[in-house]
Structure 1
Amino acid sequence: MKEYLTIGEVSKMKGVGIKSLRYYDRLGILKPAYINPDTGYRYYSIEQMLMLDMILLCLGLDIPLKQMQEYMDEEGHLDMKGLLKDGRKKAEEKAKRIQDTLFQIDGLERRIRGAEEIRNKGSDSYSKYIGERMVIALPWNHPSTDDKAYMSEVTKLYSLSQKLELTVFYQQGIIHHRKGGEAKSYIFLEIQQTDVKDPGIFSLPEGTYECSVSEDTRIDEKAETKNQPEDLLIVETDFYFGKQPKDRYFLELQIYKGKDGGK
């Protein structure tokens, strides 16, 4: 008689639960090589371990197990080439998501470190140099205090970013730009540098910004202040602390002073 592995041995060898092995049987993707007619015990062949490895690969790549049947012919032969090709594509997509998440974490950690430095100085206003930032934005034509419209537009930006396959940082807010007497406002998400072409994607200039932190939005008030220069760029964005209060929300107001600090 051919040598078989018991279901318990397979479970232990591959780290797969016995209930899972029975589920694979019901799906028809890994039926036992032999079932004892007297005891009902299930046994598997050594050759079937490759199929089990492919099942575990699919699980790791979020490929639905029912989809595995698409890689099997009527005789139960597995299309390894096709499965691995699709598996590679899934793995690359998953790797990109992980890399995007790491970029987002790095960005948040940098901002938190900067926030702690500002808090330690104990000043209500301060100047800081901010490098060039790329954003995706939509026109903003609502009062700055309209939270419902704000969240609705941010949701649209996240959906658009996903469609364009952009890496989005956890930094959002409102931009107010006045030039030559014409004022325009935008709601934005900061994104990783990209070559994607879209009317809503543009860069905010690097340079010195005069900043302050508040729990209140003040962008309209600042934009209408008469003693501000004719050309004015204001960015109002989320501000994070290392220990973020659960019931308070902070914003940083950034007024652009130019590459030379407005001197």
Structure 2
Amino acid sequence: MKEYLLTISQLGKISQTHVKALRYYQSIGILKPVYVNPDNNYHYYSLAQVTLVQIIKLCTENDVPLKDLKRYLDENGETIALKDLIDYAKNLVENKIAKAQKQLDYINYIQEEIQHSQEIHQQHTLHYVLNEARYWVEPFDGKILSEEYFTKLLTIEEQLNELGPLPIKRIGLLLRYEYGQKAPFICLKLEKLPPEPHPQIITLPEQRNHIEHVSYEDLAQRISQIETQFQPQSIFITETFEDDYDLFSPHLEIQFDEAE
């Protein structure tokens, strides 16, 4: 029997796991020796336990509390409900991958916005034909980048999470002008729509927009100038991400529709 057993050092070498970690796994009851030499109290492990150690490491690397593993072992620690444990671990890893992908998408978005800001700086203003797009909008009469603004965004993001993974591109304030009245909203551009229609989702048609940067301090004055000079149907204000980002006085991007 002994020729098929491993010392704790051998188990550590084969599984590429520090002996101290293996001793810890043993102390909490998730890695039990299959044989203890009565003469010297040396602990021995089976070759099959190499797989168990690999699974334990996989779980720890994905933030699974080790105590959770005990429910997949029998009372004696001799058998493990491997299918159930692997299903559980797979779900955790998939969730972690989805979270990492969401973070990567955000990084890519910031990079795109930096490039977009550079274009505005180089040309001072841009004139784009913006394609038809869908936005999630909710009434909001506060200031952009305020505590109230970010609190509202968190509430909206919770609602969106309940509807499924809905990638968001641009976030900001939308001012809509109809019949001489101005209606302010907080808005999020949706890259994907939920399965069912939702009253908070609106469609903005394709339109030619003027795009420029404005300082946070000058925003209210610039909006007033645009309203007087251009009488737009909508104004969109969003945060910018620049190569050298001013943390004390960030630039904002302002868009408004132009007459043909």
TM-score, length basis structure 1 = 0.82
| Structure 2 match to 1:194 | 193
Per-residue deviation, 1:219: 5.4
1:195 alignment partner, SS class: coil
- The 1:35/1:169 distance shift into structure 2, 3 A limit, reads farther
Q: Which residues of 2 match residues 114-263 of structure 1 at below 5 A?
A: 114-121=116-123, 123=124, 125-142=125-142, 144=143, 147-169=146-168, 171-197=170-196, 198-216=198-216, 218=219, 222=223, 225-229=227-231, 232-257=233-258, 262-263=259-260
Gaps of 5+ in 2: none
1:111 alignment partner, SS class: helix
1:244 alignment partner, SS class: coil
Per-residue deviation, 1:34: 3.4
Per-residue deviation, 1:9: 2.6
CA RMSD, 1 decimal: 2.8
- Aligned 8 A contact 2:137 2:185 in 1: yes
Distance 2:21 2:120 in 1: 53
| Structure 2 match to 1:111 | 113
1:248 alignment partner, SS class: coil
Q: Deviations over 1:100-136 (max 9, x none)?
A: 2332222222221121122223x2x331233444433
Q: Which amino acid aligns with 1:2?
A: K
- The 1:195/1:42 distance shift into structure 2, 3 A limit, reads same
Q: Which amino acid aligns with 1:165?
A: G
Distance 2:220 2:157 in 1: 23
- Aligned 8 A contact 1:100 1:167 in 2: no
Q: How many residues align?
A: 255
- Aligned 8 A contact 1:157 1:188 in 2: no
Q: Which residues of 2 match residues 31-70 of structure 1 at below 5 A?
A: 31-36=32-37, 40-70=41-71
Distance 1:146 1:36 in 2: 67
Identity %: 25
Which one is further off, 202-211 or 247-256? 202-211
| Structure 1 match to 2:98 | 96
- Aligned 8 A contact 1:166 1:194 in 2: no
Per-residue deviation, 1:81: 1.6
Per-residue deviation, 1:223: 5.8
| Structure 2 match to 1:5 | 6
Q: Deviations over 1:65-87 (max 9, x none)?
A: 21112222334321112122223
2:228 alignment partner, SS class: coil
Distance 1:83 1:114 in 2: 46
- The 1:180/1:58 distance shift into structure 2, 3 A limit, reads same
1:226 alignment partner, SS class: helix
Q: Which amino acid aligns with 2:200?
A: G
Per-residue deviation, 1:88: 2.7
Distance 2:238 2:140 in 1: 14
- The 1:127/1:179 distance shift into structure 2, 3 A limit, reads same
Q: Deviations over 1:152-208 (max 9, x none)?
A: 212222333333333454742111111223322111233431324433333444432
Q: Which amino acid aligns with 2:183?
A: K
Per-residue deviation, 1:46: 0.9
Per-residue deviation, 1:235: 0.5
Distance 2:112 2:144 in 1: 28
Which one is further off, 209-218 or 145-154? 145-154
